[in-house]
Structure 1
Amino acid sequence: MYSKTQKMIQSKLKEAIFSGVIYQFIEADKQETQVLGYAATLPQKEKMTQQHLFDVASLTKVICTASVVLRLWEQGELEMDAPLQRYLPAFQNQQITLRHLLTHTSDIQTWIENRDQLSAEELRQAYLTLQPGDSLGKKVLYTDAGTILLGFMLEELYQMPATEIFQKEVLLPIGMTESQFPPVIHEQIVPTQRINGQIMKGETHDPKARVLGKHAGNAGLFTSLNDIHRFVKTYFDASYLKAETIDWLLQDQTPSGKDQRSLGWDLKERMLFHTGYTGTFLLMDPRKNQAFIFLSNRVHPTDEREEYIKHRDEIISKYFEEKY
């Protein structure tokens, strides 16, 4: 299955673009999974297994935050074009809507002074004061701020921490029993970056989500290939979101209708797509029950982002070349 794409992934592994990877192709009722290389190279080598948990970074946005928001929208609890302030009164802007945040068209100005030195509550207060620029609703500018604010909104609605909401409303109903949020307790965790001489393992790589902890809606999910497979299947059989909602997600949801982004998801070659900073991505076409799940440890032990993105995009291009 997708032999040229697989050959390319193996080639990237040999080039040390990542030292370990798990990937899976799903084609209707068929699937192929490969587990290659090492989960860790430092402080000692550890073979990759299908049971390893990955810090999937921004895949948290679509698996957790967007899922809860979409369920609430289905239930009539939220309006996509309502201002965030309606549901999160502490947010100090009346123009930015849920649609703006989910499609990355809020043009929210995200600079926060001394951001990494702030406590979780100080960082939360800083996010509540952010304002849009002149391009509100006009162009896509990817930012974590959208799902961070949506996480705060969900906490306001549910009156519980974001990670507890995600456990109750997403992981439990779908049966994602292997997934966790920090503190992660698991024998096999894929480590991420070496920072200040220490290898990060079981703590969130994203610095904002690391500070926000249980209140983060942008990152922090540790999950396995098996659980992502379960999540993908809910899009195929419409067992979590309704079939008409999934259909709707496959359309451009930006205010202009021309920017190739859906609610939470990017749109790529008629498929739903999202990446994670740590070396993960998910592509799926619920109309044809096709998906490509890719989990690598590309930030371990060092973060070579620009180089990785070039190679990741080559893998995705090769997949589409074979698919179409």
Structure 2
Amino acid sequence: MNRLHTLLRLTPLLLLSACASFAPQRPLDTASTAQIDSAVRSYVAERKLPGAVYWMEHEGASYQQAYGKQSYETGSADVTLNTLYDAASLSKVVSTAPSVLILAEEGKISLDSPLVNYFPECANGGKEAITIRHLLTHSSGLPASLPAKPGWRGDEAAHKLACNQTVTHTPGTFFRYSDINYVLLGQLVQKVSGMPLSAFAQQRIFTPLGMKHTGYLPLARFTASGIAPTQKAQEEDGGKSAHIDLPPGQTLQGVVHDPTARFMGGVGGSAGIFTTAGDLARYARMLLNGGELDGVRVMRPETVRLLTTRQSPDGLPARAMGMDIDSPYARPRGTVFPVGSFGHTGFTGCILWVDPNSKTFYVFLSNRVYPDDKSNILPLYGVLGTLTAQAAGLKAP
């Protein structure tokens, strides 16, 4: 009888526990997701971008939507959640920076060692004081990009150009977002690991995470029809604009838009990966889970911390060893996500932004550079950041 009384007394608690474990997830705010749809569709309607994909998650609840077409051409395919996009500088934080940090985990790279310890040929022009940390946090003092002229091609030529640059500020004292920093970091991965950045990232990041559509040189694996095009060479410029060097009328589709990465053969530390929103969602989940996803560990929690929390020198805009936190480029944070959330953008019109406190992230992929690289969608970034936070139930500080 006593056992029966005990069971009867515990039954409500057991039922309550069972109900709690199967309790429905807190729904996202549908008014906010509707505003997200409206904002993106208005940009499509105004021909500021042909199409896009948006994906957000918050503590297991998710919302995804595809918008518009791959291009403005008659008969263009609809954008789907599986449309492959040129992610431009998202390559820096999805491929290059984590590859460097994984090698640092293994003791193969020292983050506070001088660059010239790895590349003695770079010992000129004030670069002797640059450390790997400076490169990762954009505090090296190097110029923003490699010159496009006179014409050059190949990884070796890019390395020589990078090593010939002169710093404009003492390393560690000035923030300048620089592709040269990440060109050198990509080459560092190759030198230390013994394999190209594309192969290392595929083996150590993309494949373990099940990012089946992500990688460099997508035309080796996918048909062009599933890839959103970027820029088209215009008749009036003879294909000689700043970002494209093709015969008039020809379009970049499955070939990286970034000129430096393209001149390097499609694989660069600064740009080059093509990806889908779903793949980037898997990457974001891994970051929120301390470097592990579905039982597979890609990096240690400490490495995730270096990639996603402030590591820049005192007095400079807040950057992690890869991710942006609070710099002039942090527009995707919007007005609600707190400082301490992190992410990055890509020149082609792409965003990855993550808030670890609320376990929320969003991905936005587009080809706003189609057809002529003249569209400005920066105001949309802030709108998406604010509305995503509101969809997750966050309030402005």
- Report the counterpart of residue 332 of structure 2 in structure 1: none
Change (3 A) 1:111 1:150: closer
What is the CA distance between 1:309 and its match in structure 2? 1.9
Amino acid at match of 2:385: I
Alpha-carbon distance in 1 for matches of 2:273, 2:145: 24
Please say if residues 51 and 224 of structure 1, whose CA atoms lie closer than 8 Å, have aligned partners that are also in contact.
yes
- Report the counterpart of residue 228 of structure 1 in structure 2: 280
- Report the counterpart of residue 129 of structure 2 in structure 1: 95
What is the CA distance between 1:257 and its match in structure 2? 5.7
Alpha-carbon distance in 2 for matches of 1:275, 1:113: 22
Please list, as runs of the form range in 1=range in 2, the aligned pairs for 1:25-44 lying within 5 A after superposition: 25-42=56-73, 44=75
Alpha-carbon distance in 2 for matches of 1:32, 1:321: 13
Is 1:174 paired with 2:209?
yes
- Report the counterpart of residue 271 of structure 1 in structure 2: 341
Alpha-carbon distance in 2 for matches of 1:272, 1:220: 21
* TM-score, normalised by the number of residues in structure 1: 0.92
Identity among equivalent pairs (%): 29
Alpha-carbon distance in 1 for matches of 2:312, 2:74: 45
Work out which structure has the larger RCO, using CA pairs closer than 8 Å and 6 or more positions apart in sequence.
1
Q: Of 36, 39, 42, which aligns to 1:5?
A: 36
Structure 1 unaligned residues grouped into runs of 5+: none
Alpha-carbon distance in 1 for matches of 2:201, 2:384: 31
Alpha-carbon distance in 2 for matches of 1:105, 1:91: 17
Alpha-carbon distance in 2 for matches of 1:44, 1:242: 47
Please say if residues 98 and 307 of structure 2, whose CA atoms lie closer than 8 Å, have aligned partners that are also in contact.
no
What is the CA distance between 1:77 and its match in structure 2? 2.4
What is the CA distance between 1:250 and its match in structure 2? 4.1
> What number of residue pairs does the alignment pair up?
323
What is the CA distance between 1:83 and its match in structure 2? 0.8
- Larger radius of gyration, structure 1 or 2? 2
Alpha-carbon distance in 1 for matches of 2:232, 2:148: 22
Alpha-carbon distance in 2 for matches of 1:173, 1:111: 32
Task: For residue 165 of structure 2, give the secondary structure of its aligned residue in structure 1.
Answer: coil
RMSD: 2.1
Please say if residues 152 and 215 of structure 1, whose CA atoms lie closer than 8 Å, have aligned partners that are also in contact.
no
Alpha-carbon distance in 1 for matches of 2:358, 2:299: 17
What is the CA distance between 1:74 and its match in structure 2? 2.2
Alpha-carbon distance in 2 for matches of 1:243, 1:113: 38
* TM-score, normalised by the number of residues in structure 2: 0.76
Task: For residue 264 of structure 2, give the secondary structure of its aligned residue in structure 1.
Answer: helix
Please say if residues 107 and 133 of structure 1, whose CA atoms lie closer than 8 Å, have aligned partners that are also in contact.
yes
Please list, as runs of the form range in 1=range in 2, the aligned pairs for 1:105-254 lying within 5 A after superposition: 105-109=139-143, 112=146, 114-115=148-149, 117-120=151-154, 121-182=156-217, 184=219, 185-187=221-223, 188-195=226-233, 196=239, 197-213=249-265, 215-237=267-289, 238-239=291-292, 240-254=298-312
Amino acid at match of 2:318: Q
